[in-house]
Structure 1
């Protein structure tokens, strides 16, 4: 049975600590100030997250062990005070709760898709960017994401079903749309995927005290495909 609104879908193991972000020396490394001490934390998210991972922002970290880090960024407080889950390692576990019985990490040619449920291939995307109530993906150009959508369309032409599951990891989103300004190639492929009969589920979540809580589904934004090509 899929989660109901208000259900906990993931729990981060602690102890959790509240810290202040200093800077982000590289894509996966964030320096934080923890009780006067500087710590190096791993950031497991492929996005740019400039509106989240910024100097002075509050973050929650948990202990993990890496070659150069001893903690991981778990959630970050956005400028509007909303807490945003910032660890993409949980995406597959969370999505699987909505896809009961699906097989994970399915190889298709030289590619891998996240799930296969019956005759339906499923790809999962995590979203942390919200602007004026609109959740948008991606926040950085994603060649890999574009290739996944093309693969899903080719599978549909071969007779399979296909779905994109979007996990919006913050509760202030009112609707979802592709990020045309940041990645027009992905956005065009997304539009063609939908117009070709692909399904899209957008699940929204909130963070509280180490728990990720299902906050309901949202629809595509009005005018989400205004820049889409005709098929």
Structure 2
């Protein structure tokens, strides 16, 4: 398997006491760690659950949540997403490029790329998002507009745990789901890649496809 990122620094296990807010998690050890993921993460960050944290330097914290336990370690630090995605793009791809009213993650040649990280998997089906995301829908609309203008556009979904297939999470965010299917119909390319955490290595598992819509 391909190691795409090796996590540097000290890594250790904690147990969650409470999620103080969207970006802070209090541990049973009384340590408070940064959580770099605005999703709900209800199956991963809840009182008593195991998490892996890594040493980082922040204004209010000295650690960040790296992964949560759900029968396996699931990576939930979204700062790794652009680093991982870049491993699958040309080395000269520009990052954080402004388009319309948004910033898209990458641009190379005449191709624009938006990256989304997915941590929610149910019965082998990867689902995104796990919370309503107007920003995510806006990014899809920008990709659709780029295609209409004759450019190439791609949505790259990084599933941060093994899964068999992917679907947009219609029950959680019907607007995003509608924009997702419209983007594919308009010619936006889709690539879905799954990963897992082995020790301190984030490794590529495989590309996966779309599930049947009826699943």
Q: TM-score, normalised by structure 1?
A: 0.90
Q: CA deviation at 1:63?
A: 1.2
Secondary structure, counterpart of 2:157 in structure 1: strand
- Paired residues of 2:14 and 2:52 also in contact (CA < 8 A): yes
Distance 1:89 1:206 in 2: 16
Distance 1:198 1:210 in 2: 34
Query: 1:137-159 CA deviation, whole Å, 9 max, x = no partner?
Result: 00000001101111111110100
2:88 pairs with 1:107: no
Q: TM-score, normalised by structure 2?
A: 0.96
* Residue among 13, 23, 38 paired with 2:30: 38
Distance 2:210 2:108 in 1: 23
Structure 1: gaps spanning 5 or more residues = 1-5, 227-231
Distance 1:210 1:103 in 2: 27
Structure 1 range deviating more: 64-73 or 202-211: 64-73
**1:178-189 to 2 correspondences below 5 Å:** 178-189=168-179
Q: CA deviation at 1:67?
A: 2.4
Structure 2 equivalent of residue 229 of structure 1: none
Q: Number of aligned pairs?
A: 214
- Paired residues of 2:7 and 2:200 also in contact (CA < 8 A): yes
**1:65-144 to 2 correspondences below 5 Å:** 65-78=57-70, 81-100=71-90, 101-144=92-135
What is the RMSD of the two structures over their aligned residues, measured on CA atoms?
A: 1.2
- Paired residues of 2:100 and 2:142 also in contact (CA < 8 A): no
Structure 2 equivalent of residue 13 of structure 1: 8
Distance 1:129 1:109 in 2: 30
Q: CA deviation at 1:14?
A: 2.1
Distance 1:170 1:7 in 2: 14
Structure 2 equivalent of residue 216 of structure 1: 206
2:52 pairs with 1:52: no
Distance 1:106 1:67 in 2: 27
Q: CA deviation at 1:66?
A: 1.9
2:22 pairs with 1:27: yes
* Residue among 138, 141, 145 paired with 1:150: 141
**1:200-211 to 2 correspondences below 5 Å:** 200-211=190-201
Structure 1 range deviating more: 48-57 or 61-70: 61-70
Distance 1:25 1:114 in 2: 29
